[in-house]
Amino acid sequence: MNEGASRARHVAIIMDGNGRWAKRHHVPRAMGHRRGVEAVRKLVRSVESMGLECLTLYAFSSENWKRPDEEVSDLMNLMRKFIKSDLPEFMANDVRLKIIGDWQGLAPDIVEMLEDALEQTAKGRHTLAVALNYGSQQEIARAASKAAGKGEITVESITAELDTAALPPLDLLIRTSGEVRLSNFLLWQCAYAEMLFVDTLWPDFEPEHLQTALDDFATRERRYGGR
């Protein structure tokens, strides 16, 4: 193993490709999203055994509101169902839920469900951070404005005001579906994160894929500008 290599503490995933999965299987787009939630469920169950401190999932971007109303409403309903059905599982798997993004801007019943879920999972040892109504540029702007209100704007003062302030530094960012872009996700946090772009469509992403990614991460040498 390289000297700079280590075990990942914090992995983030851009879960992309539900629509293309549905197209490939000749089923409605909504089915692709449903299968995407299944993939999330399986992954969350395995986070504890993989020893990850934090898994951050990009579930809905601040730009995803641009999609047709029907799709947005399907996604919101899936979110409602997921929180309701999986809350006991989170607790059983020692998972603490955390939400990043402008989630207070979601429908009031979802906000209420999330508040309840946050409270009930507060003692979990493994963090599942879900990015909802999340846009990284917006997050940085919010953080900078809070930092400015408290004094000098520095890298540290902005970092301390980001939604991710309480999370471990980001080690590895994965994007599924073959797209090679960040789509306004964790721009600041990616400064020295390792990146992995895989062709697998999100509904086909299995815990074994994450394990392979973690094994790959462990062989990488991180330099942070040094040598």
Contact window for ligand IPE (CB under 6 A) among 52-60, 122-130, 136-144, 213-221:
52-60
Residue 86 makes contact with Mg ion by CB under 5 A: no
Residue 16 makes contact with Mg ion by CB under 5 A: yes
CB 2 → ligand IPE: shortest distance, Å? Answer: 31
Q: Judged by CB under 6 A, which of 61, 121, 133, 164 binds ligand IPE?
A: 61
CB 151 → ligand IPE: shortest distance, Å? Answer: 34
Residue 38 corresponds to which amino acid? Answer: E
203 binds, among Mg ion, ligand IPE, none (CB under 5 to 8 A by kind): none
Residue 18 makes contact with ligand IPE by CB under 6 A: yes
C-beta separation of 104 from 138 below 8 A: no
Cα 83 → chain centroid: 15
Residue 16 makes contact with ligand IPE by CB under 6 A: yes
Distance between start and end Cα atoms, the chain:
16
Active site residue 64: yes
Residue 46 or 183: the one with the smaller Cβ distance to ligand IPE is 183
Q: Which H or E element spans position 127? A: strand 126-134
Residue 173 corresponds to which amino acid? Answer: L
Instruction: Tell me the HSE value of 180 on the side-chain side, using a 13 A CA sphere.
Output: 3
Site for ligand IPE, residues 146 to 205, rule: CB under 6 A: 177, 179, 181, 183, 202
Q: Which two tokens stand for residue 53?
A: 């401190």
Name 64's Cβ contacts closer than 8 Å, sequence gap at least 6: 72, 75
Closest-CA residue to 13 (of 62, 69, 49, 55): 55
Q: Judged by CB under 6 A, which of 58, 90, 205, 217 binds ligand IPE?
A: 58
CB 177 → Mg ion: shortest distance, Å? Answer: 7
Between CA 227 and CA 225 the distance in angstroms is 7
82 binds, among Mg ion, ligand IPE, none (CB under 5 to 8 A by kind): none
User: Would you call 129 exposed, middle or buried from its count of C-beta atoms within 10 A (0-12, 13-18, 19+)?
Assistant: buried
Q: Which two tokens stand for residue 79?
A: 């979110």
Residue 207 makes contact with ligand IPE by CB under 6 A: no
CB 89 → Mg ion: shortest distance, Å? Answer: 26
Residues that bind ligand IPE (CB under 6 A): 14-20, 58-61, 64, 75, 177, 179, 181, 183, 202
Q: Which of the residues are catalytic? A: 16, 64
